[in-house]
Structure 1
Amino acid sequence: MKKASLVMIVGSALLMGLFVFPLWNIELGAPQYPEPLGINIYINGLQGQSEFDIQNIDGLNHYIGMKTLPKPEDMWEFSVFPLVIGGMVSLGVLFGVLGYFDKISYHWFFGWFILMTILGVLGMYDFNAWLLDYGTNLDPKAIMKLVNPDGTPMSYKPPLLGHQKMLNFDAYSYPRLGAYFMFLGMCLTLIAGYLGWKYKKASNLYYST
């Protein structure tokens, strides 16, 4: 169980990478921009891929009626997400330490993984809802009002994942290093649960003989 517990501690601690590296990136490329415009999304705010990308994207969005990109104080998520991740790291490390001293079973490792998976799915749902609102809730007084062939207002929602063509822009949305740290950490906690189960099974077999 000690090996499983150490893996659990390392796995949950890897989520700390989210405080250092971006979770996601949205990039906009067009012929008139030799260097694509990009936004790095952290759990506590947004940052331009290059120095003036935020200002340039807000300038473009103004013409089609999109809201300016939110500052940390404009979205509750940027205050809550760091608390959630910090709490999950602390909980995972605690479970690992308790497991190391045989105070809890491997079931708690699986429980942590399930809870983190649920939180991750809810986070992605919230992110997609923000993109939908950002790309469809347009100012009716915008300078440019573009419509689809059927007459409905055009949506400028970036893709949640992958590539999408928006007018003459190519929008790309992909995870970044922080997301890979989180994914690796969650995989390790799942492995920790498996190792704990394997240890328990071997122990039961030993005592039954």
Structure 2
Amino acid sequence: MRDFIERIPELADRPIPDRGRLLLVAGAVLLVVAIFLPLWQIHLVAPQYQEGLDLYIYSHKLEAGNGGQDLVEINNLNHYIGMQPLQEEDFTEMRFIPFLLGGFSLLALRAAFFGTLKSAIDTLVLFVYFGAFSLWRFYYRLYTYAHNLDPQAPMDIDPFTPILIGWKQIANFTQYSFPREGSALLLGAVLCFGGAIWMGVRQDTSSSEVEPAPEATAA
């Protein structure tokens, strides 16, 4: 392990095999496709809403079920308990996230073009950081919406935090929250980038384990 750590600067410039480059290209494609698919879904069920209310979160927009009527119903319920209405224009991050995903796609294509471990590692590390920050931002949004309640609201309810993944009982509502196809593609891109890096490292490790054949000596 120590030898491997000491060789990291040298490994950074090592080439990635062609199959690894194809994985980088595949990851770039997944990032672009994810822009047009829902990343997350929030589903609310209550006795008065047996079929449930659906909110789909994309990288660039909010989309509600029932032709958009579900968002109207959700905002009416939010007003009743003192939450701010959900409005797409308030989510300023949606203005630049699609461009960031496009930028990461270009980084992945750049890594495939140069074909070095360093370029692939840079792409993966930056994208993982972006993904972690985005999840934190999503959680923070949920937290602030449900903690900054209007004290003059018709219904008095204690501040709460909607669930990020899973289900949770909130008054007479059951909230379900789970990732959708877009998030699956983003995870697939991470696996593609990681796989390309593993191939590059594995190729170098395998080649270093091959010892040169002993030279023949004259009898």
TM-score past 0.5 threshold? yes
Match of 2:12 in 1: none
Q: Over aligned residues, Cα RMSD in angstroms?
A: 1.7
- 2: distance between equivalents of 1:203 and 1:4? 16
Match of 1:57 in 2: 74
Match of 1:177 in 2: 181
- 2: distance between equivalents of 1:178 and 1:199? 32
Q: Which amino acid aligns with 2:112?
A: G
Match of 2:85 in 1: 68
Secondary structure at the counterpart of residue 47 of structure 1: strand
Does residue 198 of structure 1 match 2:202? yes
Unaligned runs of 5+ in 2: 1-16, 214-219
Compute the TM-score of the two structures, normalised by the length of structure 1: 0.87
- Measured against aligned partners, the alpha-carbon deviations of 1:74-108 in whole angstroms (never above 9, x if no partner) come to 22211121121111111111111221xxxxx2232
Match of 1:21 in 2: 37
Q: CA deviation at 1:25?
A: 0.7
**Aligned-pair identity (%):** 31
Secondary structure at the counterpart of residue 96 of structure 2: helix
- 2: distance between equivalents of 1:134 and 1:53? 18
Match of 1:150 in 2: none
Q: Kindly indicate whether the alpha-carbon contact (under 8 Å) linking 1:12 and 1:189 is maintained by their aligned counterparts in 2.
A: no
Secondary structure at the counterpart of residue 66 of structure 1: coil
Q: Which amino acid aligns with 2:80?
A: Y
Q: How many residues of Structure 1 are paired with residues of Structure 2 in the alignment?
A: 196
**Partner residue of 1:116 out of 123, 127, 130:** 127
Q: CA deviation at 1:200?
A: 2.8
Return closer, same or farther for 1:109/1:208 CA change in 2, 3 Å cut-off.
farther
Q: Kindly indicate whether the alpha-carbon contact (under 8 Å) linking 1:26 and 1:171 is maintained by their aligned counterparts in 2.
A: yes
Match of 1:98 in 2: 114
- Measured against aligned partners, the alpha-carbon deviations of 1:152-199 in whole angstroms (never above 9, x if no partner) come to xx1243101111100010001100000001111111110011111122
- 2: distance between equivalents of 1:63 and 1:134? 14
Secondary structure at the counterpart of residue 66 of structure 2: coil
Does residue 140 of structure 1 match 2:156? no
Q: CA deviation at 1:31?
A: 1.4
Q: Kindly indicate whether the alpha-carbon contact (under 8 Å) linking 1:12 and 1:186 is maintained by their aligned counterparts in 2.
A: no
Does residue 33 of structure 1 match 2:44? no
Q: Kindly indicate whether the alpha-carbon contact (under 8 Å) linking 1:17 and 1:182 is maintained by their aligned counterparts in 2.
A: no
